[in-house]
Structure 1
Amino acid sequence: MSNIAGRSRLLKRERKPKWSFVVLRGADKTVKQFHVSKRSVFAAPTAALLAVTGCFGGLHLKSTYELHQLEEQLTRQDAQFTQTVAAKNEAILSLQEEIIELIEQAADVEQRVNDLQQLEQKLQQFIESYGSRIAPSAYQIEGQKKEPSLPALPNIAPIPSFLTAAKIDSKQYAQMAQKTNLSLASLQRMIRTMEESMTVTLELAKATRSSVDGYPSFWPTRSRMLTSGFGYRSDPFTGRSTFHAGIDITGKLNDPVFSAADGLVAETGYNRSHGNYIIIDHPNDLQSAYMHLSQIEAIEGDTVVRGEKLGLLGSSGRSTGPHLHFQIMQKNEPTQPLKFLALIKED
């Protein structure tokens, strides 16, 4: 029985063949021999393959997770970028609208400045037309002599024409903004210059206007027909040559008589020669007198303005018929009234 069992074990060993591996380490070294079963030889690569596969699987899972995290991060960044772009687009659109509005405002300011420039030119023309012929004192401002000529104003840079937003690209907007900035800078320089020049011009205009209004140049009656001029003439009562200190203007009885200029009613009264009369003081040592009135309406001590009604034309005093004796005195000396009446155009 024991022999049979031993043979059975031997047969089992023969069914399980083993592979032998010999390791030679050197001539003086002992030889090592390893015995590996055939099953182990085939099982080892399989285990290695499974290990490698496991590693790759783990790496794949890790990569998949990291990729998912990266996609979520990119999604968030894309949403933020979209919001940022939308906000910037909105800001750009708002800026474009502001540029267009700024251009329109600059054009409006330019028009107003041009209007002011035209007004200043008219004031200068007024000063040049009447100022130098009225009195040098009209140009005396704060003790210094001012000339009517004023510094030339700068030209305004052209304002770009308005275009619809749909037809304008970013480059055009930049050009429009640049041109508008130049125009506004030019307008600012012009306004500063005009502030200085207009101050002088207005002062000159006020002084000139005051002198014009205070100059006896307004025709004192409706009629402009003269019956006697200034200077020597034949006296209508005596026939002798006498000096006539004013002019006689014929008219209808009780026609209105007007003040020739702004002034102060210095004297009113009656005498046998002048009849009812009014004397008005004006600037620059000038006086105007209105004689032979049928009625005095001005009150002594009151101020009157150019063209204001003083009384009624008549024939009081030494007179041959209804008329106004109009007289102008400069420094208490009679002077030719017509040179004053012709000075200022009535229109």
Structure 2
Amino acid sequence: MKRSPKPKWSFVLMRGAEQSVKQFKVSKRSVVAAPAAAVLALSGCIAAIQIRSAFKIDSLHDEMSQQSTSFSQTVHGKDDSIGTLQEEIGRLNRQTEELKGKINDLRELENKLKTFIEQYGRLTETSSSATPDTQEARNLIAKAEQSGLDFRQISSLVDAMESTMEQSVKQAQARQAELDALPTGWPTKASATFTSGFGYRVDPFTGKSTFHAGVDIGGSVGDPVFSAADGTVEDTGQDGSRGRFVVINHHNGLKTVYMHLSRIEASPGDEVVRGEKIGLMGSTGRSTGRSTGAHLHFQVMQHDEPVNPMRYLD
């Protein structure tokens, strides 16, 4: 039995009027298989492209993950740095406030020294408005600012200066107490006329040469009498020779005595300051003791021995 010939497809190729015509015969199977092969080839290309793209995507994903991790670490590090800087700023602020407080303390100490110098400058060797310690403190602060010393160094300098100035203030206060205890103030401001001086003189009652242990300051009955220095009232009273009197102990070996008062305005144990009123001037015939007229007998005792009051009176 003969097989029937397989059907074929004929294709005629015409390129022009003068060109020959070419005819191709292709089996039906080939016509069907060719598109299928093309589709398979195209599918393979697409699959290869997808695989390649997936690989690139995975690579990019890994790279982005690494970059994200790196960025996270960087941000975390920045956060730590910011936290450290904030702590440092807080510490510096605290140190600044502490230093300001110490400088204010120095200024207060300096003002105390200035007050002392203004009040007692004539009796001390220091005549400028700033003590050497104060000037040294200013110089050290200026050097610290110029050399860029840190807060710890500046704080140490300020502590040292504060300690030195505190000692100076204590010395000044001690000196002030000593000066305030010296009987340099006039015991009466109404009159500064001396009616009798310190030393030997002719006694107006006996006519004989006797030792006068103080000075007599004239005035009027009722003139106020003041303490010549800071101290404590040790004794008050009245007798035939002194009349009404007040004794003040100045706690430095010195005592002052005020005699022939018409009235006493202080009591034993009273703390008095220079210029404080302690009584009134008296006169003969008013229970003021043996007296030649209205006057104050003012006496200074050093270790219970009379000394010339003019050593102290301004």
What's the TM-score bracket when you normalise by the shorter of the two chains?
Answer: 0.5 to 0.7
Contact 1:103 1:159 in 2 (8 A): no
Deviation per residue, 1:291-347 (Å, 9 max, x gap): 1111123234x23322332221111222222211100011222111122223xxxxx
Segments of structure 2 that go 5 or more residues without pairing to the other structure are: 10-28, 126-130
Segments of structure 1 that go 5 or more residues without pairing to the other structure are: 17-36, 133-147, 161-177, 343-347
| Cα RMSD (Å) | 4.8
Cα 1:278–1:106 shift into 2, 3 Å:
closer
1:275 paired residue number: 243
Is 1:197 the counterpart of 2:153 in the alignment?
no
Cα 1:264–1:41 shift into 2, 3 Å:
closer
Residues in 1 aligned to 2:78 and 2:104: alpha-carbon distance in whole angstroms: 39
Contact 1:268 1:279 in 2 (8 A): yes
Residues in 2 aligned to 1:205 and 1:50: alpha-carbon distance in whole angstroms: 107
Residues in 2 aligned to 1:127 and 1:187: alpha-carbon distance in whole angstroms: 33
1:21 paired residue number: none
Residues in 1 aligned to 2:216 and 2:248: alpha-carbon distance in whole angstroms: 18
Deviation per residue, 1:236-290 (Å, 9 max, x gap): 4556554322111222311221222333433333333322222222323222110
TM-score when scaled to structure 2? 0.65
1:250 paired residue number: 218
Cα 1:109–1:248 shift into 2, 3 Å:
same
Residues in 1 aligned to 2:78 and 2:250: alpha-carbon distance in whole angstroms: 75
TM-score when scaled to structure 1? 0.60
Cα 1:68–1:117 shift into 2, 3 Å:
same
Letter in 2 for 1:328: V
1:119 paired residue number: 111
1:55 paired residue number: 48
Contact 1:277 1:292 in 2 (8 A): yes
Q: 2:273 aligns with which of 302, 306, 314?
A: 306
Cα 1:200–1:99 shift into 2, 3 Å:
closer
Residues in 1 aligned to 2:64 and 2:133: alpha-carbon distance in whole angstroms: 73
1:144 paired residue number: none
1:333 paired residue number: 305
Contact 2:95 2:151 in 1 (8 A): no
Contact 1:106 1:183 in 2 (8 A): no
Residues in 1 aligned to 2:165 and 2:58: alpha-carbon distance in whole angstroms: 78
Letter in 2 for 1:204: Q
Q: 1:156 aligns with which of 132, 141, 158?
A: 141
Residues in 2 aligned to 1:110 and 1:280: alpha-carbon distance in whole angstroms: 41
Shift of residue 90 of structure 1?
Answer: 8.0
The number of equivalent residue pairs is 279
Deviation per residue, 1:6-46 (Å, 9 max, x gap): 5x4xx549x69xxxxxxxxxxxxxxxxxxxx9888998787
| Superposition map of 1:125-140 within 5 A | 125=117
| Superposition map of 1:33-182 within 5 A | 47-48=40-41, 50-61=43-54, 63-64=56-57, 67=60, 105=97, 108-109=100-101, 112-116=104-108, 118-119=110-111, 121-122=113-114, 125=117, 152-153=136-137, 155-157=140-142, 179=148, 182=149
Letter in 2 for 1:55: A
Does the residue aligned with 1:324 lie in a helix, a strand or coil? strand
Letter in 1 for 2:197: G
Q: 1:286 aligns with which of 228, 251, 254?
A: 254
Contact 2:243 2:290 in 1 (8 A): yes
Residues in 1 aligned to 2:144 and 2:95: alpha-carbon distance in whole angstroms: 7
Cα 1:189–1:83 shift into 2, 3 Å:
closer
Contact 1:157 1:186 in 2 (8 A): no
Cα 1:76–1:185 shift into 2, 3 Å:
closer
Is 1:209 the counterpart of 2:202 in the alignment?
no
Contact 2:236 2:267 in 1 (8 A): yes
Letter in 1 for 2:259: M
Residues in 2 aligned to 1:115 and 1:291: alpha-carbon distance in whole angstroms: 46
Residues in 1 aligned to 2:121 and 2:209: alpha-carbon distance in whole angstroms: 41
